[in-house]
Amino acid sequence: MRRSILLALAASVAVCGMSTMATRADSVLYNLGVSNFPVTSGNYGTVTVDRVSTTVANLTFTAANGYSFVDGGAVAANINATSWTVTSLTGTQGSSFYSWLKNGDPISGNEDGFGSFNQQIDSNNASDLSATISFTVTRSSGSWGAAADVLTGNPGYFVAAHVFNPNANNGKTGFAADVGGPNRPPDAVPLPAAVWSGISLLGLLGVGSRLRKKARV
């Protein structure tokens, strides 16, 4: 009887684990670590891609300390889809601060030295700076199986940004792009549902084993 109850509980936990994993967002992180700045090097910021469903993803560009995103091509990404919409666009200066549509279509353009990207976000003018820019991408057809599928190379880079630091590069702007493609943050890797189910089952079977030992004493 105890074994039947334990197996039923294990099955229930497994189903719950699968449901949780199916709705949990997964993320990848891109480092803006390569730049055409002639006199500086290092990390210029990060880009986090959170896949919230098979058709929706949130992109967040965060400039490194002391840097800001600026002017034309303030941030850019190469979306892995044939068509999509951009919503919930926000920046440090406010949601109405950036324009991202030209004639109803996503902006595509060149990020100096790093090729063309099919989704650019432009600031209104060169004096407008933002330390963070985020937006939501919803693809019109097809699906993304994981956060790493949301973007694709152009072919060399996935993301890029137009960056500025008044104390670097003699006060001039420059462009930065990702290094080595997507790097999944260790704390953002969800365990597969099968693993969660196995862990739950082992835990319950362990409890059952202890109960049987107590019953024999």
As a whole number of angstroms, the distance between CA 145 and CA 155 comes to 20
As a whole number of angstroms, the distance between CA 193 and CA 75 comes to 35
The closest of 15, 21, 41 to 174, measured between CA atoms, is: 41
Per-residue pLDDT of the chain (217 residues; tens, 9 = 90+): 555 544 444 444 443 443 333 334 599 999 999 998 876 667 899 999 999 999 999 999 999 998 999 888 899 999 999 999 888 888 876 544 555 554 455 678 899 989 999 999 887 666 678 899 999 999 999 999 999 999 999 988 999 999 998 888 778 889 999 986 555 444 334 444 444 445 444 454 454 555 455 555 5
8 Å CB contact between 114 and 160: yes
Extents of the domains making up the chain: 1-24+192-217, 25-189
DSSP string, 153-189: -SSS-SEEEEEE-TTSGGG--EEEEESSS-B--GGG-
pTM of the model: 0.71
**159, amino acid identity:** V
Mention every residue, 6+ apart, whose C-beta is less than 8 A from residue 213: none
8 Å CB contact between 19 and 13: no
